[in-house]
């Protein structure tokens, strides 16, 4: 009986490839999720029609009429009770079976999956590629099974890719995983589905499904962004990817750390009363030895990036911070000669 149901549902599925009334167009030809969805939808719709239909019929049939007496309600009817117990049990059994099969399928990745890592944090996604590249968006090769191994750096998030019919919680302190096979090249939405704080609604990313060649070319190029982007742009990417954005804003609002807006070239008060001019060397020191000088009014909670960022990364970050000051810095750096002076300013 289940096999028969299976084949019925299989037949109706090609329309899932285009945007439907109920589900967005699928980028995968795996029918498991759609089958469960439409099965439940059809069962619920039929039951809805049955209940509303009977209700309407009874309303009319047994309405109050002059001279009509209300009939006594039956108090016990074994046959009726058995019927309305057995039929729902069968229906729930079918739904459970279909749901369980689809769930196990989603959980059990086929051998030879292409593995990517996902790290979620308030409020951004990071996708970590086999060659170490970290990206805000998810790129995957088409037609191959891909497995995401996911964890969160703070609260619970939820990864949802409607077009690929996968959704899984992303939990701090442990790993969860999903796999899928994206068959149709294109760009699809990826959303967070666990309410995770103020900016939850902007925790979005794009899934780029590319042919194998396009994907390989993209990955090679993307990993190389420090060499291909202007330093200030590369610094902006690092600012997001290395988590600086969690504590430092670029719009002037103080967070856990001071904002980066317009600070370059300014004089900053330290907790010990000294004043320091924010220049290349000060920023470099702040990144490598954050505890050396503590900004007045802030807690010494920034930990060192020594070993985590390269010299090129630091240069890019400095150029980014510099680019957030509208005017050129008034002072030259206080210690060493700065090669890239003026670059990226006013962007
Ligand atoms: Cu989230």
DSSP, residue by residue, 7-73: HHHHHT-GGGGS--SSSPPPS----HHHHHHHHHHHHHHHHHHHHHHHHHHHHHHT---TTPPPPPP
Distance 328 CA to ligand 1 centre (A): 37
Spatial contact of 324 and 260, defined as CB atoms under 8 Å apart: yes
Cα gap 117→177, rounded to integer Å: 9
The bridge status of strand 124-128 relative to strand 176-181 is unpaired
Q: In the structure encoding, which two tokens stand for residue 273, read together?
A: 């009363």
Report, in angstroms and rounded to the nearest whole number, the Rg of the chain calculated over CA atoms: 29
Distance from residue 303's CA to the centre of ligand 1 (Å): 24
User: How far does the centroid of ligand 1 lie from the alpha carbon of residue 193, in Å?
Assistant: 7
What pLDDT score does 155 carry? 92
Provide the pLDDT for residue 285.
94
Alpha carbon of 142 to ligand 1 centroid (Å): 26
DSSP strand pairing (186-192 vs 204-210)? antiparallel
Residues facing residue 145 across a β-bridge:
181
Which pLDDT tens digits describe the chain residue by residue (347 residues)? 444 444 444 444 444 555 667 777 777 777 778 888 888 889 999 999 999 999 999 999 988 888 888 878 778 889 989 999 999 999 999 999 988 988 888 888 888 889 999 999 988 899 998 877 888 899 999 989 999 999 998 899 999 998 888 889 999 999 999 999 888 888 889 999 999 988 899 899 999 999 999 998 888 877 776 777 888 888 998 898 888 999 999 999 999 999 999 999 999 999 999 999 999 999 999 999 999 999 999 999 999 998 888 888 899 999 999 999 865 444 444 444 444 444 433 33
Q: In angstroms, what is the span from residue 113 Cα to ligand 1's centroid?
A: 26
* 139, 232, 303, 322 from 265: Cα distances, Å: 39, 16, 23, 8
Instruction: Calculate how far, in angstroms, residue 65's C-alpha sits from the geometric centre of ligand 1.
Output: 59
Domains parsed from the chain with CATH numbers: 2-58+77-107 (no CATH), 114-223 (2.60.40.420), 229-323 (1.10.760.10)
Complete edge-to-edge strand list for the sheet that includes strand 204-210: 138-141, 204-210, 186-192, 157-161, 166-170
Ligand 1 centroid–CA 315 distance in Å is 31
- CA 121 / ligand 1 centre spacing (Å): 7
Question: What's the angle, vertex CA 120, arms to CA 196 and CA 186, rounded to 5?
Answer: 105
CA of 257 relative to ligand 1 center, distance in Å: 22
Distance from residue 205's CA to the centre of ligand 1 (Å): 11
Q: How far is the CA of 136 from the centre of ligand 1 (A)?
A: 14
Going from the Cα of 160 to the center of ligand 1, the distance in angstroms, rounded, reads 10
Dist. CA 98 → ligand 1 center (Å):
29
CA 165 to centroid of ligand 1, rounded, Å = 18
3-state secondary structure of 264: coil
Distance 194 CA to ligand 1 centre (A): 6
Say how many Å lie between the CA of residue 327 and the centre of ligand 1: 36
| Terminal-residue alpha carbon distance, the chain | 66
CA of 242 to the centre of ligand 1 (A): 18
| Cα 277 to ligand 1 centre (Å) | 37
The per-residue pLDDT for 341 is 40
Note whether 31 and 13 are within 8 A (CB): yes
Give distance in angstroms: CA of 127 to centre of ligand 1.
14
Amino acid 347: pLDDT:
33
**200 C-alpha to center of ligand 1: Å?**
5
* Residue-level pLDDT at 210: 92
Which pairing describes strands 176-181 and 267-269: parallel, antiparallel, or unpaired?
unpaired
């Amino acid at each position: 009986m289940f096999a028969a149901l299976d084949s019925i549902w299989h037949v109706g599925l090609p329309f899932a490839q285009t945007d439907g009334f109920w589900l967005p167009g699928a980028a995968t030809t795996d029918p498991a999720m759609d089958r469960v969805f439409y099965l439940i939808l059809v069962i619920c719709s039929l039951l809805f029609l049955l209940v509303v239909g009977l209700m309407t019929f009874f309303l009319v049939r047994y309405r109050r009429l002059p001279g009509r007496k209300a009939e006594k309600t039956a108090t016990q009817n074994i046959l009726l009770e058995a019927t309305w117990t057995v039929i729902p049990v069968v229906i729930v059994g079918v739904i459970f079976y279909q749901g369980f099969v689809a769930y196990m399928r989603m959980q059990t990745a086929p051998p030879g999956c292409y593995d990517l890592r996902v790290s979620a944090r308030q409020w951004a996604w990071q996708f970590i590629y086999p060659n170490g590249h970290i990206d805000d968006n998810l790129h995957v090769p088409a037609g191959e099974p891909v497995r995401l191994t996911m964890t969160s750096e703070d609260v619970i998030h939820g990864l949802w890719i409607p077009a690929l019919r996968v959704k899984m919680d992303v939990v701090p302190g442990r790993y969860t995983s999903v796999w899928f096979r994206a068959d149709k090249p294109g760009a699809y939405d990826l959303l967070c589905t666990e309410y995770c704080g103020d900016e939850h609604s902007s925790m979005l990313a794009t899934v780029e499904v590319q042919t194998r060649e396009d994907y390989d070319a993209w990955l090679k190029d993307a990993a190389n962004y420090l060499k291909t982007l202007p330093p200030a742009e590369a610094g902006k990417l690092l600012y997001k990817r290395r988590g600086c954005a969690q504590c430092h804003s670029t719009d002037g609002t103080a967070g856990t750390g001071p904002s980066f807006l317009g600070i370059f070239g300014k004089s900053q008060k330290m907790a010990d009363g000294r004043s320091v001019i924010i220049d290349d060397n000060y920023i470099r020191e702040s990144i490598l030895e954050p505890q050396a000088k503590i900004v007045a009014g802030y807690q010494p909670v920034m930990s060192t990036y020594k070993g985590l960022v390269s010299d090129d990364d630091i240069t890019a970050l400095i150029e980014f911070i510099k680019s957030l000051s509208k005017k050129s810095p008034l002072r030259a750096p206080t210690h060493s000669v700065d090669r890239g002076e003026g670059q990226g300013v006013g962007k």
